[in-house]
Structure 1
Amino acid sequence: MSVVVEEYNPEWPEHFDKIKSELQSFLEDADIISIEHVGSTSVPGLAAKPIIDVDIIATRENIQSAIDALVAKGNFIYLGELGIIDRHALYSPDQKPSRNIYVCVDGTYQTRNHLSVRDTLRSDPALREEYGSVKLQLAERGLDIVDYVEAKSNILIKILQKSGVMTEEELDGVNAANKKGERHGAIMTERLTLREFVMKDVTGFHALESIPEVVRYQSFPPRTMEQSKKEVVTIIQNSAVTPREHVELAVLHEGKFIGRVGAKIKRKNENGKELEPPHADLWFSFMPEMHGRGFATEAMKAFISLLGNPMKLEIECDPRNMGSSKMAERLGFERVSLTEMAYESKEEWVDSLVYQKDV
């Protein structure tokens, strides 16, 4: 999904005040320092994504109690640091208005980053205008959030340099955090969009993975909504791990979630020795009504091109799953083994058919 940037909305501070009041009720027994409105919606006159960014600041020893309070009392979902140390992301079940909630360690440069950008832009009209212009131009290019954050890194560093509150080493850290690293920007094919998972994908993921037909040849039964939510959280958390060992992307057609493609990348063997080349075990899953239209093949071809090379690719499937074996053959994989009664799944012994391809 493309990033949306809007002209400044004077209602944004009111939205923050409402969110802050809710957070205070959840955190009444937690020892926090402050709840801060940060991000572009906190700067009067600045164009911004219509998402309220909130930093809950606490001393290091009180971080966990704040997180626990939000999870227990507010039903927040803890997402982890997502690649930015000392900034803990939580997903609020209330997204009206949309919001990003972070619990941040007081005094760290990650926390000072948010506060310094806000305060500098509030006091520097010229820099505020320049930043707003950059954001609007990037949004017009139709960038997704991964590419958008990286593309505006230079202007953010300029703002932080103007603030004068960060060392060169800290600025390097901020710049590195804004790079997408091993995360992928949106990939467009003829009919599809492949992108990193976000929490809004839980509904689509559950609609897919709760269908008995879809999980017939998997080791797990149809997923509940709670299981789907936990799985999407894990996918999001894995996207921030470097080197990345679990790559999984949502697949959209005409803006609608229709499936997922993924790979588990293995770089070392059981003895800790580097594998040359690395191995990638692939999987894919699509809504039944999308079968037979070439969407899975189109998505997998695009996905494989993202994994890099050299690499040994593998698709392992139940021989009864004709869709998977035919997919492997369409993608040019070679059948390398068939093991009878390889493992037990859902109270029956299952054969294992393996296809491989070197890229």
Structure 2
Amino acid sequence: MENIHDKNIWPVWATETIDIVEPNPRWIKKGEHEKALLLDILSPSGITEIQHYGSTSIPNLPSKPIIDLMAKIDSFETVEDIASLLVDYNWHYVHPDLDQRPWQRFFVKVTNDKREVHLHLLLEGDERWDKQLLFRDRLQSNQLLVNEYAILKKNLVEKYSNDRELYTKAKTEFINSVLKM
């Protein structure tokens, strides 16, 4: 059996560097499109709500060109069934041992060996759902916060372009300060 922690066997997209690009107004429409596709595929599995919540959902914010979506799910018991539905649409399931976030199940849609969309499945009632939406909504309504976050992200990507985990962790203080506003 292969060791899933062996980076030598990971696909190209799993180890790509972080790239922050200028905002693209098409990201919002792309998020809506991906949401609609996923709802069509996953509604038989009980998924009825999907939100576009990442940086690409915030106008004028430089970002990784990857759409971040999250969906509510009643139980993680159906994740293997969901993975089998999504595999035909270029979605890859990232095992929780690799994702290291036990509160979610994570999928990556890949096109031409590049991440295109992330799907985070969260359990119904998880407080992270509301926090993600609150952070998105506060930035969508405050260009000064967008500007501050953009500077932070550009500085962090210079330090952590090869380490997604450290890059994400380094944004925590800013995110928490926005949530406390």
Partner residue, 1:74: 86
> Contact (CA 8 Å) 2:160, 2:166: kept in 1 or not?
no
Root mean square deviation of aligned Cα: 2.2
Specify which structure has the higher proportion of helix: 2
Shift of 1:64: 3.3
> Contact (CA 8 Å) 1:88, 1:102: kept in 2 or not?
yes
Shift of 1:69: 4.3
Q: Which whole-Å CA distance do the structure 2 matches of 1:140 and 1:71 have between them?
A: 34
Partner residue, 1:185: none
> Contact (CA 8 Å) 1:26, 1:73: kept in 2 or not?
yes
- Give the alignment's TM-score, normalised by structure 2: 0.76
Partner residue, 1:133: 151
Partner residue, 1:313: none
Distance 1:93-1:4 versus aligned 2 partners, 3 A rule: closer
Q: Which whole-Å CA distance do the structure 1 matches of 2:147 and 2:177 have between them?
A: 13
Partner residue, 1:64: 77
**Partner SS for 1:28:** helix
What are the within-5 Å matches in structure 2 for residues 182-197 of structure 1?
A: none
The correspondence for 2:25, drawn from 3, 7, 10, is 10
1:277-320 deviations in whole A, cap 9, x for unaligned?
A: xxxxxxxxxxxxxxxxxxxxxxxxxxxxxxxxxxxxxxxxxxxx
- Give the alignment's TM-score, normalised by structure 1: 0.41
Asked whether 1:110 is paired with 2:123, we answer: no
Shift of 1:12: 0.3
**Partner SS for 1:47:** coil
> Contact (CA 8 Å) 2:19, 2:64: kept in 1 or not?
yes
CA radius of gyration, larger in: 1
**Partner SS for 1:20:** helix
Partner residue, 1:148: 167
Partner residue, 1:41: 56
Distance 1:139-1:35 versus aligned 2 partners, 3 A rule: same
Shift of 1:86: 2.3
What are the within-5 Å matches in structure 2 for residues 110-259 of structure 1?
A: 110-141=128-159, 143-144=161-162, 145-162=164-181
1:78-130 deviations in whole A, cap 9, x for unaligned?
A: 32332223211123355777111111112212222322211111122221211
> Contact (CA 8 Å) 1:2, 1:139: kept in 2 or not?
no
Equivalent position amino acid for 2:150 in 1: G
Q: Which whole-Å CA distance do the structure 2 matches of 1:108 and 1:142 have between them?
A: 29
Distance 1:13-1:55 versus aligned 2 partners, 3 A rule: same
Partner residue, 1:211: none
The correspondence for 1:101, drawn from 89, 107, 119, is 119
Equivalent position amino acid for 1:72 in 2: S
Q: Which whole-Å CA distance do the structure 2 matches of 1:142 and 1:97 have between them?
A: 18
Q: Which whole-Å CA distance do the structure 1 matches of 2:111 and 2:130 have between them?
A: 27
Q: Which whole-Å CA distance do the structure 2 matches of 1:10 and 1:133 have between them?
A: 19
Distance 1:85-1:112 versus aligned 2 partners, 3 A rule: farther
**Partner SS for 1:131:** helix
Partner residue, 1:224: none
Runs of 4+ residues deviating >6 angstroms: none
Figure out how many residues of one structure are paired with residues of the other and give that number: 159
Q: Which whole-Å CA distance do the structure 2 matches of 1:91 and 1:116 have between them?
A: 23
Specify which structure has the higher proportion of strand: 1
Partner residue, 2:13: none
Shift of 1:28: 3.0
Q: Unmatched 5+ residue regions in structure 2?
A: 1-15
> Contact (CA 8 Å) 1:84, 1:110: kept in 2 or not?
no
1:157-193 deviations in whole A, cap 9, x for unaligned?
A: 111222xxxxxxxxxxxxxxxxxxxxxxxxxxxxxxx
Equivalent position amino acid for 1:45 in 2: N
